[in-house]
Structure 1
Amino acid sequence: MVGPVWLSAALIVVGGVLFVTGGAGFLRDGRRIGAPIIAILGAGICALGVGLVLAVLGHPLLLVIVLVVAFGLLLLGNVVGYPLLVIFLLYAGITVLRRESRTLGNALALVAAIGLILLPGTLGWLAPSDVVRDDPAYLLRYAVHLAAILIVVYFGFAFAAFMIASLLYRWRRSRVVPEAVIVLGSGLIDGAVPPLLAARLQRGLQAQADFGGAPILIPSGGQGDDEPRSEGEAMREYLIAHGADPAAVVAETESRTTSENLRFSRTLLSEPDAPVVVATSSYHVFRTALLTRALGMRAHVVGAPTAWYYVPSAVLREFAGVMRDHWRVVAVSIALMVSGAVAFTLIIVPAMVPPAG
């Protein structure tokens, strides 16, 4: 009895600390990937601890619910969610290539679907035989297979964390009146504003209206090599043509990347830490939010609607961008997983070899 009670108490304390820490971090600044994940993990651990306590006292219902939910999520994710995800990515990937330009970025959903189809077979091909041996060929295959599984799980967890944090961030609202609404550029077509950019500009106008028209509008975008004029100029014309006060629209015309959009637009503010709202496409919201946090900006990012078939490839591109932005963390994590797989293979696997005879 004492053992389960102490274990339950430890789970409740650890879970509570994680939940409070993660929740407070998210409420303080939603531009974090880890904070909501820590809060959710803490809530689950705490619920497990409370369930164990109640089970010891003769009331096992909560523990049963926790275990059923955990098992159900695992079962649905693998048996139902995996094939549905593959089908959706295939359909979206083919649709976006039929309706949009055939670029690698637009093909990411289709590439991901093919990768998910091949993944189980690839891991099965890498798997060592069921009979454990200690010869070099077997140990090498075992280490490669284990490292591959760990890396797949790592990226799967990282993507899930990215999606959860991204969705939770979109529910937040700006708490202060911003000095400006920065609208990020996305490229012109023949010098004109295309639908994707128009949606961002309309979202910027809506954000300005949400605050009684007080914030100025900063359309941000430089001139590309294939563009007859800067995005900022074309965006400013669009905003004025759709009802914006010309005196309240200040174009930023030098930036070439999202980071430059933010940094160069920041120089047009009265103070570097003046609060702003940033308008972009829905799929681009969370990565932009992460960039504003890295730049130390007091910013809240809002998104414009995007065609459904375009979202999967765009989200995968954004996730790849976040992984690239944090490549040192990714590289260290992969190195640790590979090292762990090798160490396990060299130390533990030989001890698992059945005795001869």
Structure 2
Amino acid sequence: MLLYAPAVFFLLLAAVGVLRDRRRFSNAVYLGLALTFLAFALLVTLGKVDSVLAEVVLIVVVLAPALATLVLAGLLIANGFKMIRKEGRRVANLLSLLCGVAILAVVALLVAAPQADSPALSVVARTALLLTCYLSFLFVCFIGYAYLYGRLMPRQDVDYVVVLGSGLLGGTRVPPLLASRLERGRALYERQAANGRPPLLITSGGQGPDEQLPESHAMAAYLTDRGFPADRIVLEDRSRTTEENLRFSRELMSAADPDYSCVVVTNNFHAFRAALLARRQGVNGQVAGSPTAAYFWPSATIREFVAVLVAYKWINVTVCGLLTLVSVAA
């Protein structure tokens, strides 16, 4: 049973973290470590079983990641071309394509290094493998916990529903991505209003350099044009970033009621990172996600993950540096 002790230990850490505040990236890491140690323990246990079925399972477990890696690279590249076709050639739309190409490049490097008989190339390949494994582990933790976080239902007795802005189409119109957020915000409002305690809805978004009016004003107009009560809308029209969305909305809510509670609405691919930012900004509330087109998910998720890596840059730089030193010294 000692073989399973690390898995149980990290699972307990994850459970305690979720109970304390589920808006922590450490919860994702603890859960990822728990599943990793559990998988290792199961493989060791299975390796001790003398049967054909056990051998087949072990072979599948070894080969599946390699095959899955190649399939993933192909899917990412295909999605990248679809993003370019539908959304244009902005850098943000190239992320899935670049990620797929990078995976194939690492695979090619690992295959070529043993054949080249070059110590320097072997070090490069070994370093690339270690860094790829580290980043892949974090990415799996991120998307796995983000999925779980998105399944948790928000409170139904909040004082505010905060809808985050995302830019206007043509400088004046609400695009489908933002409309999805507004519709989810309205649904949360109506669900609570049906119980006799309608919250206030904050539309949060300032005016960008290419916009003719603040996003919050266009968002409010979108809602009122569809029958939403204007007297239940509060405008936050100063913010330019997600951090400012949350900080300025928090200031409005805490000024009206220091003991407020809220739910923040954004798109589902953005929900977990928004939750991490909400915790940093001291917002008293969880984050709910709205639906997003499937083709948009890969690039958007990669972008969110990169943003989380940057938010914890010193930890990640330190770990990557240590892994590089280990690889060079080996």
Above 0.5 in TM-score? Answer: yes
How far apart are residue 122 of structure 1 and its match? 2.5
1:7-29 C-alpha deviation (Å, 9 max, x unpaired) = x3x33443322222212222432
* Contact map agreement 1:16 1:43 (CA 8 A) in 2: no
Contact 1:23 1:36 in 2 (8 A): no
Is 1:97 the counterpart of 2:84? The answer is yes
> Counterpart amino acid of 1:236?
A
Equivalent residue of 2:283, what SS? Answer: coil
The CA deviation string for residues 15-50 of structure 1, in whole angstroms up to 9 with x for no partner, is 322222212222432223332442454366468769
Aligned to 1:284: 270
Equivalent residues in 2 for 1:309-324, closer than 5 Å:
309-324=295-310
Check the 8 A contact 1:176/1:275 in 2, yes or no. Answer: no
SS in 2 for 1:102: coil
Amino acid at match of 2:226: H
Give the counterpart of 2:13 among 21, 27, 47.
21
Q: Kindly indicate whether the alpha-carbon contact (under 8 Å) linking 2:217 and 2:235 is maintained by their aligned counterparts in 1.
A: yes
Tell me which residue corresponds to 1:195.
176
Q: Distance in 2 between matches of 1:110 and 1:218?
A: 36
Residue 111 (structure 1) shift: 1.5
Q: Taking every aligned residue pair, what percent have the same amino acid on both sides? A: 34
State the partner residue of 1:134. Answer: none
Rounded to whole Å, the distance in 2 between the matches of 1:71 and 1:38 is 28
- Cα–Cα, structure 1 residues 68 and 248, in superposed 2: closer, same or farther, change >3 Å? farther
Tell me how far apart the structure 2 counterparts of residues 117 and 256 of structure 1 sit (CA, whole Å).
37
Corresponding residue SS for 2:219? helix
Aligned in 2, Cα 1:68/1:28: closer, same or farther, shift over 3 Å? Answer: farther
> What is the CA distance between 1:72 and its match in structure 2?
4.1
Verify the 8 A CA contact 1:128 1:142 in the aligned structure 2: no
Structure 2 unaligned blocks of 5 or more: none
Which of 96, 100, 107 is equivalent to 1:113? 100
Cα gap change, 1:116 to 1:13, in 2 (>3 Å): closer
The 2-side partners of 1:160 and 1:261 are apart by: 28
Q: Which residue of 2 aligns with 1:148?
A: 128
User: Aligned residue for 1:256?
Assistant: 240
Aligned to 1:230: 214
- 1:31: which partner in 2? 23
In the TM superposition, what whole-angstrom CA distance separates every residue of 1:130-180 from its partner, at most 9, and x where no partner exists?
A: 6xxxxxx73x44433322211111111111111111111111122462211
- Aligned-pair CA distance for 1:198: 0.9
Residue 330 (structure 1) aligned with residue 316 (structure 2): yes
Partner of 2:157: 177
Matches of 1:166 and 1:230 in 2, distance apart?
A: 30
Deviation, structure 1 residue 69? 6.6
* Closer/same/farther in 2, CA of residues 204 and 68 from structure 1, 3 Å limit: farther
- Counterpart contact for 1:224–1:230, Cα < 8 Å: yes
CA distance 1:250–1:129, shift in 2 (3 Å): same
Gaps of 5+ in 1: 1-7, 131-136, 345-357
What TM-score, normalized by structure 2, do the two folds share? Answer: 0.87
Match for 2:280: what amino acid?
A
Letter of the 2:9 partner, please give it: V
Please report how far the alpha carbon of residue 315 of structure 1 lies from its aligned counterpart in structure 2 after TM superposition.
0.9
Equivalent residue in structure 2 for 1:75, among 49, 63, 67: 63
SS class of match (2:167) = coil
Partner of 2:260: 274
> Structure 1 length normalisation: TM-score?
0.81
Moved more, 282-291 or 212-221: 212-221
Distance 1:69 1:178, change over 3 A: farther
Change (3 A) 1:71 1:185: farther
Identify if the C-alpha distance between structure 1 residues 14 and 77 changes in structure 2 by more than 3 Å, giving closer, same or farther. closer
Q: Aligned in 2, Cα 1:207/1:124: closer, same or farther, shift over 3 Å?
A: same
- Separation (CA, whole Å) in 2 of partners of 1:248 and 1:293: 25
User: In structure 2, do the counterparts of structure 1 residues 83 and 51 end up closer, same or farther at CA, with 3 Å as the change threshold?
Assistant: closer
1:159 correspondence with 2:151: no
- Offset at residue 87 of structure 1 (A): 2.6
Q: What's the counterpart of residue 208 of structure 1?
A: 189
Asked if the contact 2:239/2:248 (under 8 Å) is kept, the reply is yes
For 1:310, give the aligned amino acid. F
Write the mapping of 1:50-89 to structure 2, written as runs, cut at 5 A: 72-79=60-67, 81-89=68-76
Instruction: Tell me, in whole angstroms, the C-alpha distance in 2 between the residues paired with 1:186 and 1:23.
Output: 33
Aligned residues: 322
Q: Residue type of the partner of 2:225?
A: A
Number of the residue aligned with 1:308: 294
Pair 1:102–1:238, CA change in 2 (3 A): same
Contact 1:12 1:47 in 2 (8 A): no
